[in-house]
Amino acid sequence: EVQLVESGGGLVQPGGSLRLSCAVSGFTFSSYWMHWVRQAPGKGLVWVSRINSIGTTTDYADSVKGRFTISRDNAKNTVNLQMNSLRVEDTAVYYCARVVGGSFDNWGQGTLVTVSS
């Protein structure tokens, strides 16, 4: 069974940092692109970032470029999102997702990040 489990969310002050992790199981992690998608409370889904199967290619949404860094550890089956210079508008549930072709076929349950003073 494919499983993705996010962790690391919490309350942080504006300007602070947080590191999210997503532990996966049930598939050959090193064969897939992995993505982060977020959803602000009561709002829609927003794509955040992606990383290729071997960790050599990354892409980011303009809204997080220069502040967020995606990485992965294929030995530990984890994908991470380092979030720096956090803003109030970064408050959201953050989902990690596996992508096959052009679709997000498996999602984690999400972890809530709240940026507030």
Partner 1 sequence: QSALTQPASVSGSPGQSITISCTGTSSDVGGYNYVSWYQQHPGKAPKLMIYDVTNRPSGVSNRFSGSKSGNTASLTISGLQAEDEADYYCSSFTSSSTFVFGTGTKVTVL
Interaction between residue 72 and partner 1 (CB under 8 A): no
Torsion angle, alpha carbons of 92, 7, 74, 65, to 10:
30
What does the alpha-carbon distance between residue 117 and residue 96 come to, in Å, rounded to a whole number? Answer: 26
What is the closest distance, in whole angstroms, from the C-beta atom of residue 16 to partner 1 in the complex? 26
What is the closest distance, in whole angstroms, from the C-beta atom of residue 84 to partner 1 in the complex? 20
Q: Length of the chain, please? A: 117
88 φ/ψ angles, rounded to the nearest 5 degrees: -55, -35
Q: Is there a contact between 8 and 77 (Cβ–Cβ < 8 Å)? A: no
Which stretch, 14-22, 46-54, 74-82, 83-91, contacts partner 1 (CB under 8 A)? 46-54
Closer of 47 and 82 to partner 1 (Cβ): 47
Which stretch, 18-26, 73-81, 82-90, 100-108, contacts partner 1 (CB under 8 A)? 100-108
Residues 16-35 binding partner 1 (CB under 8 A) are 35
Q: Is there a contact between 12 and 115 (Cβ–Cβ < 8 Å)? A: yes
What is the closest distance, in whole angstroms, from the C-beta atom of residue 111 to partner 1 in the complex? 11
Residue 11's DSSP bridge partners are: 114
Binding site for partner 1 (CB under 8 A): 35, 37, 44-47, 50, 59-62, 95, 100-110
